[in-house]
């Protein structure tokens, strides 16, 4: 099993059903970002998470790191149970927006859940039918402060489809007419360069489904 939590550019080794990469920048004038990504990948499945600590700076980073540690430690848990666990741990912090997706290779599905402001898109990898296939429903609230009633959604995925998360420092149209060719890190960098606002920390996390392995 491999896992990574970071607040800067990185790329994932495809040891599970996905390959992934991310790009992140701090708010202009800041050196620390509160937008973190966590990927836990293993044969047959993967958990992908984008975490946005409320505000910016060191305290936002602390909130995101707190959530990130729990996501790594309890990556196999039910998504709703995992968010509730994060909610309790985040109470002493500012709180953090959390969006999560679990990829299941055997069933060829992605199950996702979002609370707060981290947008999610599932983008087609089919060059004959490009564009977003689905958008993540975001529940209102902030883990660590207020948590609403939650529900996950499960979608079918095909080889080449790409899951994208973008924090509130990235314009909401980031997946429109998106070219998802190339490595996920390159896709994330392109999205960030084109849609970064500059007034917030910004993170783009891209994960491509590789399909069932022989």
158-169: pLDDT as tens digits? 999 999 999 999
Amino acid 15: pLDDT: 64
Virtual CA dihedral for 141, 143, 146, 150, nearest 10 degrees?
60
The CA distance from 161 to 100, in Å, is 17
Q: Which of the four pLDDT bands, split at 50, 70 and 90, describes residue 14?
A: low
Nearest residue to 66 (alpha-carbon basis) of 99, 39, 42, 88: 88
State the average pLDDT over residues 27-34: 90
Distances (CA, A) of 161 to 122, 131, 153, 157, 211: 7, 10, 17, 6, 9
174-193: pLDDT as tens digits? 887 678 889 999 999 999 99
Q: Phi/psi of residue 71, each to 5°?
A: -60, -40
For the chain, domains (ranges, CATH) are 2-209 (3.60.40.10)
- pTM attached to this predicted model: 0.91
Q: Could you say which DSSP state residue 29 is in?
A: T
């Amino acid at each position: 099993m491999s896992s990574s939590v970071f607040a800067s550019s990185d790329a994932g080794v495809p040891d599970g059903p996905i390959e992934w990469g991310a790009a992140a920048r701090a708010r202009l004038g800041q050196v620390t970002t509160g937008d973190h990504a966590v990927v836990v990948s293993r044969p047959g499945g993967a958990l992908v998470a984008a975490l946005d600590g409320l505000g910016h700076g060191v305290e936002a980073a602390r909130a995101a790191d707190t959530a990130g540690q729990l996501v790594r430690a309890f990556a196999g848990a039910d998504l709703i149970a995992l968010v509730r666990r994060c909610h309790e741990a985040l109470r002493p912090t500012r709180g953090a927006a959390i969006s999560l997706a679990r990829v299941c290779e055997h069933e060829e599905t992605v199950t996702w859940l979002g609370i707060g402001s981290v947008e999610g898109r599932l983008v087609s990898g089919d060059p004959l039918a490009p564009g977003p296939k689905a958008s993540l429903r975001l529940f209102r609230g902030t883990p660590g402060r207020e948590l609403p009633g939650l529900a996950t959604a499960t979608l079918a995925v095909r080889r080449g489809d790409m899951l994208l998360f973008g924090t509130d420092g990235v314009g909401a149209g980031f997946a429109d007419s998106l070219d998802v060719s190339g490595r996920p890190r390159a896709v994330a960098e392109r999205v960030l360069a084109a849609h970064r606002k500059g007034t917030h920390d910004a993170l783009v996390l891209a994960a491509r489904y590789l399909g069932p392995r022989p």
